[in-house]
Amino acid sequence: MNPIEKRLEVLRTALVQNSIDAYLIPSADPHLSEYIPDHWLIIPWLTGFTGSAATVVVTDSFAGLWTDSRYFIQAEGQLEGSGYQLIKPKAFQTADYIDWLAENLNNEVHLALDGRLFSISQLRKIEKKMTGKNVTIDTNCDLISDIWSDRPAMPDSNAFDHPVEFCGKERTLKLGEVRDAMKRLDISFHLVTSPDDIMWLLNIRGKDIKYTPVLLSFAVIGVEQIMLFATGKKIPAELTDEFLKLGISIYPYEEITGKLSALSEGSSILINPATTSVTLYKSIPDTLRIVEDISIPSRLKSVKNKTEIENIGKVMVRDGVALTRFFFWFEQNHEKVEITELSVSEKLFELRSQEEGFLGPSFETIAAFNEHGALPHYGVTKESDSLIGSEGILLIDSGGHYFEGTTDITRSLAIGMPSEQQKTDFTLVLKGMINLVLAKFPMGTSGYQLDILARKALWENGLNYGHGTGHGVGFCLNVHEGPHNIGPTAPADNKTIIEPGMLFSNEPAIYREGEYGIRTENLMICYEDEETEFGQFLKFDTVTLCYIDKALIDKSLLDSKEIDWLNNYHAEVYEKLSPYLTGPEKLWLKEKTELL
């Protein structure tokens, strides 16, 4: 019996002891955000699957793991011999584990989960599917703490100031904007559960989560006062003083439930049901009217301010210089020394580290050669690390946090002579990226309306990719930031529209299992174009600066608009990056960015 099987056995014993028929485990922490600290990485520890999104259901005779198509190939490998079955959801981004529960659990079933790790909207979905069945759900059940002996401690980093010269807006102004919105909504309290919302609001950053410059924290914003829940010593003294003046009181992290349940004077509280845990939700006194919507800071921070946009421009130059140096180094050395996926990742880190204001990678670098590239979110490990050989496609998806912004870029590189299929695939993906960034659309448009622009050329050739096209990007914050996105699925409320100042990734792709993956990703920012009698129109501007490998382009598949875009882009890349490059680097980039 391997360690994973043993843990499953121990968990099943706990199920029996507690008379539980099915236990549910999510990829989540008490903030229900995408980025979770090691302490909460229950699923990797329990099952061996290291992908970022999954749900596990364990019964006495069944152990299943649901994840999305990004991770199918990876999960199949990692779950082999684990005792867990990989269940592929039928549609993009669905929670089919709930369907499974409804179909496979009969009457009089006792279901259990840790209410800190499920959002109230997830619980409602489960409850809805179970209507009419005689099911009890224990939402206060933590079976993991007892059996996970060497569990990593809760993170405990210190906060640091994020000055206004970087972020462009004083705390007081942001607080004022949030409170104005609360007033309009007639809300007395606003529970903010997402650490990045709190970082943005208070102009602070932390290092509690790998790849994410945040402090694990909750906040309750009142009309006059703010309660910030983060261990006291985490906030430096000079900030504590300023916070006090702003009416911000700091409490230990764990006190959130107690303080929530003691809220009395107000009449209503705004929460986001998708990020508010069952435990927090149940702590809110019945006397408060609960208003549900995404958080106010989340909407406000999605639109970058003028200073942020200017700073993003600066950061893109630095990041582009680091990338150019990397690709130059790679081409000079690839045939001389052994370069592996891990050493690619290390070299990129080294070069980014030389740039001003670099805080660290914005996510785990994906350096994936050939068949590894077919795993959209491949994370290289010592075991999987491959030598970059002499033929194939190298996909590199990486990014950095800088004080002045966050980057996220993917390039796919031809090693040796690319095949016709590789060139066709690459060019169709490139067409998609270009057609999306060239979009012009009226104010009021949502991301799901634009998604097809990135897919059309692929669809016409019977190809597709199983993930979204673009995500929002934080400003020295989460590399994936909502509520805006560009993808095939419309959010249930249809409310998020694309606004000037929103920053998006643009990353169509193609994955050929067992062969290679191709993805090209730039960040782009939305700006106002012309206003006509038919409304205000918007456009995108690419901000990422790095050449695109022409060796993979089949020019005959591009139309003149697309070729123009590429040539203009390459001219801009050279113009903005070359002043910071050495002579040989400059010469090399000149060639890479020559007219197609």
What are the residues binding a copy of itself (CB under 8 A)?
A: 91-92, 131-132, 186, 267-268, 289, 439-442, 444-446, 448-453, 456, 459-460, 462-464, 488-490, 492-494, 530, 532, 534-535, 537
- Parallel, antiparallel, or unpaired for β 63-66 and 85-87? parallel
- Minimum distance of a copy of itself from residue 581's CB (angstroms): 36
- Minimum distance of a copy of itself from residue 449's CB (angstroms): 5
The residue among 62 and 92 lying less far from a copy of itself, judged by its C-beta, is: 92
DSSP 534: T
- Minimum distance of a copy of itself from residue 501's CB (angstroms): 20
The residue among 188 and 478 lying less far from a copy of itself, judged by its C-beta, is: 188
Structure tokens at 542: 């690419």
Q: Provide the H-helix boundaries in 355-446.
A: 420-437
The residue among 146 and 534 lying less far from a copy of itself, judged by its C-beta, is: 534
Q: At what angle do helices 120-129 and 96-104 cross, to 10 degrees?
A: 40
Structure tokens at 274: 């998708």
- Residue with structure tokens 């983060």? 230
Q: Is 84 helix (H, G, I), strand (E, B) or coil?
A: coil
Distance CA 429, CA 411 (A): 11
Residue of 563, 319, 309 lying closest to 430 (CA atoms): 563
The total number of residues shown for the chain amounts to: 596
Structure tokens at 95: 């929670």
- Minimum distance of a copy of itself from residue 494's CB (angstroms): 6
Distance CA 166, CA 120 (A): 35
The residue among 490 and 587 lying less far from a copy of itself, judged by its C-beta, is: 490
Q: Is 526 helix (H, G, I), strand (E, B) or coil?
A: strand
Interior CA angle at 66 toward 30 and 117, to 5°? Answer: 10
Count of CB atoms within 10 A of residue 234's CB?
Answer: 22
- Residue with structure tokens 């630095």? 318
Question: Which helix (DSSP H) or strand (DSSP E) does residue 389 occupy?
Answer: none
The residue among 514 and 583 lying less far from a copy of itself, judged by its C-beta, is: 514
- Minimum distance of a copy of itself from residue 76's CB (angstroms): 16
Distance CA 406, CA 200 (A): 13
The residue among 447 and 474 lying less far from a copy of itself, judged by its C-beta, is: 447
- The torsion angles phi and psi of 163, rounded to 5 degrees, stand at -65, 155
Find residue 539's DSSP bridge partners.
440, 527
The residue among 311 and 542 lying less far from a copy of itself, judged by its C-beta, is: 542
- Minimum distance of a copy of itself from residue 530's CB (angstroms): 6
- Minimum distance of a copy of itself from residue 235's CB (angstroms): 35
DSSP string, 494-527: ------TTBEEEE--EEEETTTEEEE-BEEEEEE
The residue among 206 and 447 lying less far from a copy of itself, judged by its C-beta, is: 447
The residue among 337 and 492 lying less far from a copy of itself, judged by its C-beta, is: 492
- Minimum distance of a copy of itself from residue 85's CB (angstroms): 23
Structure tokens at 43: 């699923």
- Minimum distance of a copy of itself from residue 493's CB (angstroms): 8
CA-to-CA separations, 246 to 168, 172, 175, 243, 279, in angstroms, rounded: 18, 7, 9, 5, 29
- Minimum distance of a copy of itself from residue 480's CB (angstroms): 21
Radius of gyration of the chain (CA): 24
- Minimum distance of a copy of itself from residue 466's CB (angstroms): 9
- The torsion angles phi and psi of 590, rounded to 5 degrees, stand at -55, -45
The residue among 233 and 495 lying less far from a copy of itself, judged by its C-beta, is: 495
The residue among 95 and 317 lying less far from a copy of itself, judged by its C-beta, is: 95
- Residue with structure tokens 């529970």? 191
- The torsion angles phi and psi of 348, rounded to 5 degrees, stand at -60, -40
